[in-house]
Structure 1
Amino acid sequence: MLDMGFSEILLFGIVAIVVLGPDKLPQAMRTVGRWYGKARRLMHSVQHDIEKELNLLEMKEQVQRELDQIRAVERDMQQQLVEMRKSAEDIASTKAQQGQSNPAAQQPAQSIGE
């Protein structure tokens, strides 16, 4: 988090002893430690929340892509259904026209033995 080496920490400690004195230094270090802990927890919490939001956003995008694919398949299926109905109607009308032009085709074939 903080890029501090041993020499910086040592310098900080010496300045703290000079400024605060040896009697107030332990209390000040405890206070600084608490603040540092709170800051780390807060940063961890914020980082966790951001990761959660990013995952949620990715999931929403994935769901949207899946819904788009489903809608495309649905459109294709509806188009094929319309084409199949049209083909069935064409076949039915062709059979009806054949039946009107050839009445013998409508009579069942007689067997040879009759």
Structure 2
Amino acid sequence: MFDIGFSELLLFGVIALIVLGPEKLPQAARTAGQWYAKLRRTISTLQSDIESELDLAETRKQMQDELAKIRQTETDMRRELAEMRGSMDKFENSQNQSLDTSYQSNTPQQQNHQPDTSSSSAIEKGDK
């Protein structure tokens, strides 16, 4: 982190021993260690918070992208459904027209195939 070598630490320890003296040096070292531990925990916590925020932001972006894809797919499906309904309506109309045409063409033939009872009854009356 600070790129401090062993010789530099030794020099720092000697200066601290001279300045603080042998009575206060252990407590000063203990206090410095506690502050260093707190600083490391704080930095670790900040790093994990930043990483989780970055992950959360990335997840949000992925969700928004997926949501956009879903909406696009929904739009496409609605459009295709409308096209299919239009095709089905056209097919239904054409089938109805062909049925109407075949019904109308069959109706006059059925009238021609029915025996004319009035003319046959007139013939029978005339024969008697």
Q: TM-score range by the shorter chain?
A: 0.7 to 0.9
1:5 aligned to 2:5?
Answer: yes
Considering fraction of residues, name the structure with more helix.
2
Partner of 2:22, secondary structure, is coil
Q: After the TM superposition, which residues 40-55 of structure 1 pair with which residues of structure 2 at under 5 Å, given as runs?
A: 40-55=40-55
Q: Which 5+ residue runs of structure 1 have no aligned equivalent?
A: 108-114
CA RMSD of aligned residues (A): 1.7
Residues in 2 aligned to 1:16 and 1:81: alpha-carbon distance in whole angstroms = 82
Aligned to 2:68: 68
Deviation at 1:99, TM superposition (A): 2.8
Identity %: 48
Residues in 1 aligned to 2:2 and 2:36: alpha-carbon distance in whole angstroms = 11
Number of equivalent positions: 107
**TM-score relative to the length of structure 2:** 0.77
Deviations 1:82-103 (CA, angstroms, capped at 9, x unpaired): 0000001111111222233332
Deviation at 1:104, TM superposition (A): 5.6
Partner of 1:39, secondary structure, is helix
Aligned to 2:119: none
Q: Which 5+ residue runs of structure 2 have no aligned equivalent?
A: 108-128
**TM-score relative to the length of structure 1:** 0.85
Deviations 1:2-49 (CA, angstroms, capped at 9, x unpaired): 211011101101110111111111111011000000000111111111
Bigger radius of gyration, 1 or 2?
2
